[in-house]
Structure 1
Amino acid sequence: MKQHPKLVEMMRELIAIPSVSATSPRWDMGNRRVVEQLGNWLEALGFSVRITPLANPDKANLIATYGRGDGGLVLAGHTDTVPYDDSRWQSDPFALTERDQRFYGLGTADMKGFFALVIEAVSNLLDQPFNAPLIILATADEESSMDGARALVQADVLGARYAIVGEPTGLQPVRAHKGIIMEAITITGRSGHSSNPALGNSALEAMYEVIGELMGLRGELQARYHHPGFDIPSPTLNLGCIHGGDNPNRICGQCELHFDIRAVPGMETDAVRQQIEQRLQPIAERRRINIGLRSLIGGVEAYEQAEDSELVKVSEQLSGKPSRTVNFATEAPFFQKLGMQTLVMGPGSIDQAHQPDEFMALDQIEPGVELLRKLIQRFCIDAK
């Protein structure tokens, strides 16, 4: 067997490298050091490694391939983490800490720990011939723009027929999730003294109408779309935050609303945006006020893999767990669009993701490694 760091040491080194991605420039940083470290380990095992920078050279994807042919397997995940508040952590977010039968650290579950389990799993199989390729894919910016997944092309997964995105699901197969769009509506009116409404044009009053239209749209979407496979079977629309005005005795000159929509399979995010724009235009014209709509992040489409597909059936058999659906979004739709059967399944729990004291339970590690070994054996070594 070829040499590589022990699993815990790999986790420790990955957690120690900060790789926060965020829409705020104050928090945003690159992931280049993480993918370079993964590349070093995988090259030592005989993988062919490519690191492809994004527009920002500090951000990059890693594509590592072992074996050749058609019908192979992609094991994919993201190398960035969410921002953190170290004052709410009981230990250093960038130091792997073991206590209470758990490994604590930023990215342990979501999802740097997944890569350590993948490398551990494949290292014991490299003395066998691979009849189909294994591709390990590590992306940038999943927690913000998903630009890493958006940059993937067919050549990056050439030959692969199946993809597993290793988000934390408790090692239970996930065959569908909702899509998401995050939008901002900005209204620019005219400020003035509140004693005379004619002196201004209230952006806040216009926003009151806009919110009414959004509530109406929410009702229409929930009446039109229904997916019984989800715990929350209808799409949701959440008004997240609003900012506007500066004083009680001034007419509000500007107001901005941020909201998100979680779409069920069958909804197209671009079509939803068009519906929002169509509802905003009459308000802008009637009130003679400027209303702008912009995306806070690129939308992620809803995703669904057929329940009777080969990947779902095999994953249910190997994991011993039935497949399910979730409400959070992942990179799965991007792999599905590249023509692969796609599933979401990985160690750890989504309940720990994006939380202070994020952890991966120790009892997820050995079962996770064993499940990954079985998947590689099935789709790469035993492939015909």
Structure 2
Amino acid sequence: MSQQTPHLLQMLGQLIATPSVSSTTPEHDMGNLSVITLLAEWLNNLGFQTEIMPIPGYPGKANLIATLGKGPGGLVLSGHTDTVPCNEELWKSSPFSLTERDNRLYGLGTCDMKGFFPIAIEAARQFINTPLTAPLIILATADEESSMSGAQALVDAGKPKARYAVIGEPTDMTPIRMHKGMMMESIRITGRSGHSSDPSLGANALDAMHSVLSELVKYRNHLQKNYQHSSFSVNVPTLNLGCIHGGDNPNRICGQCELEYDVRPLPGMDLSLIREDISKRVRPIEDMFGVSIDCRPLFPGIPSFETAQNTSLVKMAEQLTGHSAEAVAFGTEAPFLQALGMETIVMGPGSINQAHQPDEFLALDQIKPTVEILTRLIQRYCVDIQGDATSA
């Protein structure tokens, strides 16, 4: 064991004390290079070859690809280094200081998901002096909580290449083999303001938005009538009307109005086709009200994800955990790693119920079992491979 690489709780403490918030709001957004540098240093000390990959167009943000061993195939243990913003005044202890109480470790990112990295490193260091038949890759990404720019940069670069991938999002170590996609979209209507005493003086964007809302509700009903998936607790795609802003005074014709909404499509539903359908439905409203309508995504979106039930990694994870693979509604980086050709699951310590909440925590009793499960996955896919190590 390297004397220069801290033990598990020391690593977690340093990661929690290194803020790396990502946000769509510029005043909250910050870089993740300090976290990436820490991880690279620890993994270098253990003999990993490390590559820090800057994210094009996102200064101060980077991915880390750390590789132990060579050859085709192998296993990726992946996580994101960023956290959501937090309201410090709602925490009982500092969100940027690892605090132990009631057999729990509290801190921003303990379960979502900085806590996965020390656990993965603890499992990996058991193989430092073991000849690997296929490589072990620890992958750390940027901006999962906001833009998915880190995951997209990996797809654009075509790396890393491996056969299997485990993303350590908090699932209470239940393997997840599918999740819904996520779209966050905007519809902006531009009309013409004027004095409210004479509607003919303008074109009311709010009147037009009323019709847009009706079309979206009709479209939601259409989606839910035609698409169902019994594996999900909410077994239909959802469309949530999230927020709306428009106008500036009661006695002025509303000149501009904007709606922001989200869609959670099921596996097999294409994001671009959904956008196209919505645009076609609302476009006639322009002529009806004499307005212009601009439909645009707030970010590129997260595709839905599904790995087949009978794949090697799903069956192995079910065997090791004693849990059948499940489906969840939240989005992850899984479809991006899958696009790189990897058989992918989502499985990590902690509960999604603690994620994005004040007093986020990781239960201490989840650490040792997670290390043991990851150790057995590394043994299976990097040491004891049985003819399935070819690169996907």
**Normalising by structure 2, what TM-score?**
0.96
What's the CA shift for 1:155? 4.8
Residue 270 in structure 1 maps to residue 311 in structure 2 = no
Cα distance in structure 2, aligned partners of 1:219 and 1:251: 31
Deviations 1:141-186 (A, max 9, x none): 000010100011465223x100111100001100100001000111
Q: 1:195 maps to which residue? A: 197
- Written as runs of structure 1 = structure 2, the 5 A alignment for 1:315-330 is 315-330=317-332
Residue 156 in structure 1 maps to residue 156 in structure 2 = no
Q: 1:301 maps to which residue? A: 303
Cα distance in structure 2, aligned partners of 1:296 and 1:26: 17
| Cα RMSD (Å) | 1.0
Q: 2:389 maps to which residue? A: none
Q: 1:172 maps to which residue? A: 174
Which of 112, 120, 123 pairs up with 1:121? 123
What's the CA shift for 1:285? 2.0
Q: Percent identity?
A: 58
Q: 2:2 maps to which residue? A: 2
Say which is worse superposed, 374-383 or 207-216, in terms of deviation. Answer: 374-383
Say which is worse superposed, 121-130 or 80-89, in terms of deviation. Answer: 121-130
Unaligned segments of structure 2, at least 5 residues: 387-392
Deviations 1:126-147 (A, max 9, x none): 2211111001110000000101
On the 8 A contact 2:180/2:330 being kept in 1, the answer is yes
Cα distance in structure 2, aligned partners of 1:124 and 1:63: 19
Deviations 1:272-310 (A, max 9, x none): 000111112100122120111111111111100000111
Cα distance in structure 2, aligned partners of 1:288 and 1:135: 56
Q: 4+ runs of 1 displaced by more than 6 Å? A: none
Q: 2:50 maps to which residue? A: 49
Give the match's secondary structure for 2:225.
helix
Give the match's secondary structure for 2:43.
helix
Letter in 1 for 2:19: P
On the 8 A contact 1:332/1:343 being kept in 2, the answer is yes
Q: 1:208 maps to which residue? A: 210
Say which is worse superposed, 193-202 or 336-345, in terms of deviation. Answer: 193-202
What's the CA shift for 1:312? 0.2
On the 8 A contact 1:16/1:96 being kept in 2, the answer is yes
Cα distance in structure 1, aligned partners of 2:196 and 2:158: 61
- Written as runs of structure 1 = structure 2, the 5 A alignment for 1:18-97 is 18-55=19-56, 56-97=58-99
On the 8 A contact 1:71/1:383 being kept in 2, the answer is no
On the 8 A contact 1:35/1:51 being kept in 2, the answer is yes
Deviations 1:187-225 (A, max 9, x none): 111111211111111111110000000001111111111
Cα distance in structure 1, aligned partners of 2:59 and 2:186: 28
Say which is worse superposed, 247-256 or 173-182, in terms of deviation. Answer: 247-256
Q: 1:142 maps to which residue? A: 144
Deviations 1:348-379 (A, max 9, x none): 00000111111111111111111111111111
What's the CA shift for 1:247? 1.7
Cα distance in structure 2, aligned partners of 1:309 and 1:383: 15
Give the match's secondary structure for 2:72.
coil
On the 8 A contact 2:158/2:340 being kept in 1, the answer is no
Cα distance in structure 2, aligned partners of 1:222 and 1:155: 35
Say which is worse superposed, 147-156 or 11-20, in terms of deviation. Answer: 147-156
Cα distance in structure 1, aligned partners of 2:72 and 2:123: 21
What's the CA shift for 1:2? 2.9
Deviations 1:216-270 (A, max 9, x none): 1111111111111111111000001111112222211111111000000110000
Cα distance in structure 2, aligned partners of 1:266 and 1:96: 41
Give the match's secondary structure for 1:2.
coil
Give the match's secondary structure for 1:232.
coil
